[in-house]
Amino acid sequence: MNERIIELIDIAPKEFWGAQDTHLETIKKYYPKLKIVARGTTLKAFGEKDILDEFERRFQRLMLHFTRYNNIDDNVIERVILGDAQDDRKMSPNDKILVHGVGGKIVKAMTPNQQLLVDTINKNDMVFAVGPAGTGKTYTGVAMAVKALKEKQVKRIILTRPAVEAGENLGFLPGDMKEKLDPYMQPLYDALRDMIPNEKLEDHIAKGIIQIAPLAFMRGRTLDNAFVILDEAQNTTHSQMKMFLTRMGKNAKFMVTGDPGQVDLPRRTISGLKEALLVLKDIEGIGIIYLDDKDIVRHRLVKKVIDAYKYTENTD
């Protein structure tokens, strides 16, 4: 009896096999002449060579679908196993879709300015995305980073932000260093969890493929083959911003996001983001995109809150 061994590469087995292995059982129904056994990330199939060859081709296509869309179900399994090679081309993602998130959620630009941001990231190695809360700056950036990683344009994603905000000091927060820092990094984790299954995300973090760290941890590093995002950049100082931007290595994409209207630095401290927007505005290869309240994609009240506060920004 012939044996074929197939490994799930960069695929979370729990999501792929389904609850109580329901997806695996569906696959088995289409190949009654094979004995199919799955353990963790390894699948073994036993049977006649011709049937194994066919099974392996179809199974590879099924893994490709899951890698693209983070989702399979009985209908997908039927279409992939019973379909022909042309169906692969029909499955190609729409250019406007950035990634398929957890459960097949479609992540794409939701406004013209967000699409302009996507186009600017594609054309430039360093991009600044500036705008108020809720305009999708960080979320769009994380989606572009995940897309670049999936398509093997980069080898890792590095997400960073200033760790101390609104006058708080890490030394006074409870817990070890990770526990102190995690609350500041939570928005980045939230975006990633929308786009990468949890098991796979934890594995990427453990292997260093995805790194989430405070800005101070970037000092002294050269960041090659990476998509790097500096979030909440309005809270960087001159020296922090300069330090970050000069970490750029070969085959790297740098994205800086921030809201100049929400600076939490001490009075008379110049925001590194505001300064950078002035100093770098005419440099070829650096893109600067401004988003506004028309790009807000959170709850409808967020736009009204931002509008209401416009008149108080310079009064305190």
Dump pLDDT digits (tens) for 196-209. 988 889 999 999 99
The predicted pLDDT at position 93 comes to: 44
Res. 88: pLDDT tops 70: no
Higher-pLDDT residue of 175 and 149 is: 149
Note the maximum CA span of the chain: 80
Distance CA 231, CA 192 (A): 14
pLDDT of residue 95: 52
What digits encode the pLDDT tens for the residues 215-228?
888 988 999 999 99
Residue at token pair 């790009």: 295
Q: What average pLDDT does the structure give for the chain?
A: 85
Contact, 222 vs 156, CB < 8 A?
no
Q: Which two tokens stand for residue 158?
A: 């590095």
Alpha carbon of 172 to those of 47, 169, 217, 271: distances in Å? 63, 6, 19, 24
114-137 per-position pLDDT tens digit? 989 999 999 999 999 999 888 889
Determine the pLDDT at residue 263.
87
- pLDDT for the residue numbered 74: 84
Provide CB contacts within 8 A for 132, sequence distance 6+: 259, 261, 262, 291, 292, 293, 296, 306
Which of the four pLDDT bands, split at 50, 70 and 90, describes residue 90? Answer: very low
For residue 181, pLDDT over 70 is answered with no
For the segment(s) 2-90, the CATH number from 3.60.15.10, 3.40.50.80, 2.130.10.10, 3.30.1370.10 is 3.30.1370.10
Q: How far is CA 182 from the centre of its chain?
A: 17
The domain segmentation of the chain, as residue ranges, is 2-90, 97-312
Q: Give, in order, the Cα–Cα distances in Å from 151 to each of 31, 51, 76, 147, 311.
A: 31, 31, 22, 6, 45
- Compute the distance between CA of residue 34 and CA of residue 29 in angstroms, rounded to an integer: 10
CA angle 36, 46, 70 (to 5 degrees): 40
Query: Does the model's pTM come out above 0.75?
Result: no
In this prediction, residue 75 has a pLDDT band, given cuts at 50, 70 and 90, of confident
Does the fold of domain 97-312 match that of domain 2-90?
Answer: no
Q: Which two tokens stand for residue 193?
A: 């969890």
Query: pLDDT class for 81, splitting at 50, 70, 90?
Result: confident
Output the pLDDT for position 83.
74
**212, pLDDT greater than 50:** yes
> Is the CATH number of domain 97-312 3.40.50.300?
yes
Asked if 46 and 1 touch (Cβ cutoff 8 Å), the reply is yes
214: closest CA among 267, 270, 173, 250? 173
Tokens of 275: 């300064």
